[in-house]
Amino acid sequence: MPSAQFAEQVRIPDDAFIAGLDRELAARDLGERLAFIAETFGNAVLTTSLGLEDQVLSWAVSEHARSIRLATLQTGRLFPETVALIATTNARFGLEIEEYLPEAADIESYKSQYGLNGFYDSVEARHACCNIRKVKPLKKALAGADAWITGLRRSQSDNRAHVPFAEWDEANGLVKLNPLADWTADAMQAAIAEHDIPVNPLHARGYPSIGCEPCTRAIRPGEPERAGRWWWENDEKRECGLHVPEASPLPNASQLPENAATKI
């Protein structure tokens, strides 16, 4: 249950609320973090890309917080191994991962302007593709939610080195929670082995971070975990637009959506 001290915090996500969330999550183990999130928020959504982090989180949700919804962005360009893992995960944990697809009209518009694989030609074209296949479907996945749970970890890349446990996501207008922020790759592998968590077979072939098939390659020895994502770009802060590099400023109470209040 939320601690008495936390329950005294303001009940909308202002600075004090976010800081309180961050402290509370930092003091708990993973199962306790997810249970706390489920008790605190009425409609929390975990978005999963079926990567190692999200598989660990899916297992933890099935064990400790089954009221948390799971959603995945079915971009239409995923590896077959990733698509197959959706059904495997549902069956293994008794879950129902909701799939959100891009709009067919958006895909056709993109192909007309850039070509099917135009994302190789410019950062602008790549961002446009990520927007229609990921960012816009994410909006649908998070509609009505008051908290968004992700698998971001600080050790994934320099760009994520300061990921907090709790922050305000300005783009989606809700609290964003990163319960694996302090986990290492070794800790994840240990949890996967201990709990027999199903994972994408591509990980064993040198793909620690897996996105869309045309935009992901295996990494070379010594490369960072996310070096295989959009490898043809030179920007060290390559992202798809789902996660902004810097924490967004918190809104005033008058700017919050009606569903931003929590249950505590």
Would you please indicate which residues are annotated as catalytic (active-site) residues?
Answer: 240
Residue of 163, 134, 157, 124 lying closest to 227 (CA atoms): 157
Cα(45)–Cα(175) distance, integer angstroms: 11
Q: Which long-range contacts (CB under 8 A, 24 or more apart) does 236-245 make?
A: 236/158, 236/159, 237/159, 239/159, 240/130, 240/134, 240/135, 240/211, 241/127, 241/130, 241/131, 241/134, 241/135, 242/47, 242/134, 242/135, 242/138, 243/150, 243/152, 243/160, 244/169, 244/170, 244/171, 245/159
Q: Name every residue whose Cβ is closer than 8 Å to that of residue 151 and which is 6 or more positions away in sequence.
A: 48, 49, 51, 53, 54, 56, 57, 178, 180
> Three-state DSSP class for 47?
strand
